Amino acid sequence: MSKLYGNDERVRFFIGDVRDKDRLHRALDGIDYVVHAAATKIVPTAEYNPFECVKTNIFGAMNLIDACIDQGVKRVVALSTDKASSPANLYGATKLASDKLFIAGNSYSGVKDTRFSVVRYGNVMGSRGSVIPFFLSLVEKGELPITDARMTRFMITLEQGVELVWHAFSDMQGGEIYVKKIPSMNILDIARSVAPNATYDMIGIRPGEKLHEQMISPEDSYTTYEYDEFFKILPVIHEWGLDPARIGNGKKVPEGFSYTSDNNASWMDVDALRAWIAQNSSKIGKI
């Protein structure tokens, strides 16, 4: 990684852990903007290692919030997940707790100028541990394991995720959860995109998995606003959800609205995913 940036004096690299508050304090010295992406994120890994998942995803978030406030960081954007909405597994539960911590961090910072917001999206296409590189690794075997033929997932590219983070930095007042509008895809269509001639082994849903993912729950609908390319869930604490500066030109969603991978208005088809795989084959499984 250091070779990528050469001798740019603005860039430093630290070996550390979000569980180590002192190391965070040192790493954040002189830093204005932080993107929090550290997490134990693989659902089965979290189910079988719950103590470790909590230490990273919850205690790590607490350490980062404290360190950012103490070091005078201006803006912090934390990466969330569709699994944090109405969570059905430990990973989702810890990320929901993390989201709540970052939202409350705006109150916790007191008179300091540090502001915290969250971005939430679905599976980053081709990321390590995700289904696309997993299926690609099994192409030569000619058989793919399928949990449930009805399963759907949100799909987002790395570039789209980064764009949402930049938008959050420019738009945030503090306490917002930004939800990117992205397409859904059925698990069988993902399999057909990767290996059109493969057979399927129906293995059943793994511990902690959902048939369909959710990014906005009906309970969130009371403070959720819609924009051209995203939704914004406003915080309920301190009546911040009524703040015109946070609402901007957003349109209030109906009460009871939910945004799930099966009720999505936008869908990715087999040809579109196959084209994306062809264009990004060198990067799949490396991010």
Q: Please list the active-site residues.
A: 83
Q: Which two tokens stand for residue 122?
A: 């679905």
In this structure, is the dihedral angle defined by the CA atoms of residues 213, 218, 219 and 221, taken in order, positive or negative?
Answer: positive
Q: Which two tokens stand for residue 206?
A: 């793994």
Instruction: Give 198-267 as a DSSP string.
Output: -EEEE--PPTT--SS-EEE-GGGGGGEEE-SSEEEEPP-GGGGGG-HHHHTT-EEPPTT--EESSS-S-B
Q: Which two tokens stand for residue 103?
A: 């939202």
For 171-190, b where at least 16 C-beta lie within 10 A, e where not — what string? bbbbbbbbbbbbbbbbbbbb
Radius of gyration over alpha carbons of the chain, in Å? 20
**Angle (deg, nearest 10), helices 60-70 and 90-108:** 20
Place of tokens 């990466």: 79
C-alpha distance from residue 282 to each of 142, 262, 279 (Å): 22, 30, 8
